[in-house]
Amino acid sequence: MPDNHTQPGKAPPPIFAWLVHMFTASGAVLALLALMAIDQEQWRLALLWLFIAIGVDAIDGSFARWARVKEQAPQIDGDTLDLVVDYLTYVFVPTLFIWRANLVPEETAPWLAAAIQFSALYLFSRSDMKTSDNYFRGFPALWNLVAFYLFVLQAGTAAGAVVVVALVGLTFAPVHFVHPFRVRDYGRWLPVVALIWALATCALLWTGWSTDARSAWASISLAAAGILLGLGLVRTIRGERAALQGPNAGLEPDA
């Protein structure tokens, strides 16, 4: 997500700021490609496009800081652009995927899809979406990942409905979820866990693995996801930690 903090030194030419905005906007094109794949029932291809969109969202903030987009392209609000694209790739398209791929019961799918939209819009419009130490308040509308796991694990429609209802409820709950590239409580190893998760999760999209290899990738993906979820639970229980001191103070990995 874009982060436009001013950096010292000479700014790159304005063309780079515009290119960064175009890079962020490419997420909308990826959402369109995912929609086309859903329409053709190419489920793994749709998930691949959504996974690439996660990658774009993970690194465009670094580019935005380097290019100083607020200084060099002030006509464009990068935060608004990012929210629009994120809503498409994290919420709207994944909702259609969950519905069309029959991951929830057919008779309740419209209601569950509507609940996802309302809860996600609530989250996206919150001015206090994140805490001062960069944890999300409530479930952070990661419906692309929900769609992924429901599809890959083939949990069944009843389980899918339970998961959707639970996560919609957690959107409004006083719980916290970790941002692996912003939270500084755990130093540099937190992004490493996120990268391991990303590698293992993306590997699950390939159908050529043996049963044992696929089980191994799934175990790594779920274990890494469990760690990230657990750290959010720890934050919910202990509250905000005092500011870091020492060599890690002030370090914040790019996102």
Which domains are assigned to the chain? Answer: 14-177 (1.20.120), 178-241+249-253 (no CATH)
**Alpha carbon distance 25, 115 (integer Å):** 26
Q: Please write the tens of the pLDDT for every residue from 94-153.
A: 999 999 999 999 999 999 999 999 999 999 999 999 999 999 999 999 999 999 999 999
Residue 177 pLDDT exceeds 90: yes
pTM, two decimal places: 0.86
pLDDT on residue 31: 98
Distance set, CA 58 to CA 1, 10, 23, 169 (Å): 6, 25, 12, 26
Q: Please write the tens of the pLDDT for every residue from 180-191.
A: 888 888 888 899
Question: Residue 242 — pLDDT band, cuts 50, 70, 90?
Answer: low
245 or 148: which carries more pLDDT confidence? 148
pLDDT on residue 250: 42
Question: Residue 176 — pLDDT band, cuts 50, 70, 90?
Answer: very high
pLDDT on residue 60: 86
Q: Which amino acid appears at position 148 of this protein?
A: F
